[in-house]
Amino acid sequence: MYNEVIKPQLTEYLYRKAYISKTPLSGAFEISPLCNMDCKMCYVRMTKQEMNKVGRQRTVDEWIEIAEQAKEMGTLFILLTGGEPFLQKDFKELYIKLYNMGFILSINTNATLITEKEVEWLKKHKPMKVNVTLYGDCNETYERLCNNPKGFDQATRGIKLLQDASIRVKINASMTPFNEDDLEGIYKFGEENNLVVQATSYMYPPIRKDESSVGVNNRFTAKEAADNYIKIRKLRMDEKKFDLFIQKLEEGINTDDELIDECMDIEDGEGMKCRAGASTYWISWDGKMMPCGMMTKPYYYPFEIGFKKAWENIVKDTQKIRLPLECSSCKKIESCRVCAAMCLAEEGNFNKKPSYVCEMTEELIEEVKRISQTIKK
């Protein structure tokens, strides 16, 4: 139906064209906040009772109607996410219908619910990629962080089933004080199984789930986050590349290619410099279209006013967003790569500099200086 792996150069070209024309090339359908795990730092997970108090899930027919409108507007890529998509009884139906409409699909999952049954239909309708978040390298960590004492065994079994079916898998890792000792084990698992691992030590405050959580999460201190940021790059890069990364970072230039993705690839400026609200969008389980899944505003209701009008409003409102003056004029902006979503989650306002991110950047610069002196010796 379509090539299983889209060439990066073509994808980049499409996104840049879409950014200029403000075409909604890529979207995320967050089909549910429900999940079979309960991770301490999650920004969306709810129980069924909590969900019913604030909204309702959309039906397959409703999602397909929105998808038809999105396709008319130029959407090609759709990420299916949650919650946990495979927990939804009608996920297979939705997925196959979207696949048959010609969308290039990706899935976010914890992989613990993937069995031979799921893989059987997935291999007949292969996604471009399945993003699996691996929360640790043992069951004990999964119990401590995710309240699932069998999580590691279940997740790795799901990953193996996907790989055996020649379905492309990428590993994401969210590092916190509850699983930091597993960082090397996660990368080792990736290396042993020929899997790309992308880990992060920065956790957004879960303001979408709880508006009172501005600036707060079960996460590292700013110094710990900076230290783990360095550890992650050291594990992922060879010695030569790491030394160059440190050298450039000391000069105030972050050359980390993991940042050159959908979140950070547009020219600098005082406004938002990512794809969100320019060529990408996020539709939450309760029917809100937002520029980015980490933001609570601006938002519109495409299920009520239609996809086209919602997208046009999102584009218009996103263009009005400005980074704090302190950030846009800061000499360290290339080191911290601050974004609007960070400002909103950390301070509750686009116009305030995110103090946690500032502190993390300061600690990062100090650690880089220390490492640089060691390298020079």
Q: What's the pLDDT tens digit per position in 242-268?
A: 999 898 888 877 777 665 445 544 334
CA 226 vs CA 101, 229, 370: distances in Å:
43, 5, 13
Q: Is residue 60 part of a domain?
A: yes
In angstroms, the Cα distances linking 339 to 24, 149, 189, 269, 293 are 20, 36, 31, 11, 13
Q: Is residue 332 part of a domain?
A: no
Nearest to 172 by CA among 39, 371, 30, 322: 39
Q: Is 340 part of any domain?
A: no
CA distance 216 to 206: 8
Q: Is residue 18 part of a domain?
A: yes
Calpha distance 148→142 (Å, rounded): 5
CA-based radius of gyration for the chain: 20
Beta 104-109 vs 169-174: how paired, if at all? unpaired
Tokens of residue 26, six digits? 């890529």
Per-residue pLDDT, 234: 95
pLDDT of residue 237: 93
The total of structural domains in the chain comes to: 1
pLDDT digits (tens, 9 = 90+) for 173-221: 999 999 999 999 999 999 999 999 999 999 999 998 888 899 899 999 9
Q: Three-state SS for 87? A: helix
Is 52 contained in some domain?
yes
pLDDT in tens, 342-365: 999 999 999 999 999 999 999 999
Decide if 358 is inside a domain: no
How many C-beta neighbours within 10 Å does residue 157 have?
Answer: 15
CA atoms within 13 A on the CB side of 363: 17
Tell me the pLDDT band of 134, cut-offs 50, 70 and 90: very high
Q: What is the pLDDT of residue 257?
A: 60
CA 100 from chain center: how many Å? Answer: 25
What span, in angstroms and rounded, lies between the C-alpha atoms of 25 and 43?
25
Coarse DSSP helix, strand, coil percentages of the chain, rounded to the nearest 5 percent: 45, 10, 40
The reply to whether 346 falls in a domain is no
The sheet with strand 104-109 has its strands ordered as 196-200, 169-174, 129-133, 104-109, 77-81, 26-30, 280-283, 289-290
CATH of the domain at 276: 3.20.20.70
pLDDT digit string, tens, across residues 76-132: 999 999 999 999 999 999 999 999 999 999 999 999 999 999 999 999 999 999 999
Residue 179 lies in a domain: yes
What is the domain extent for residue 102?
A: 8-321
With cut-offs at 50, 70 and 90, classify the pLDDT of residue 60: very high
- Average pLDDT on 235-245 reads 91
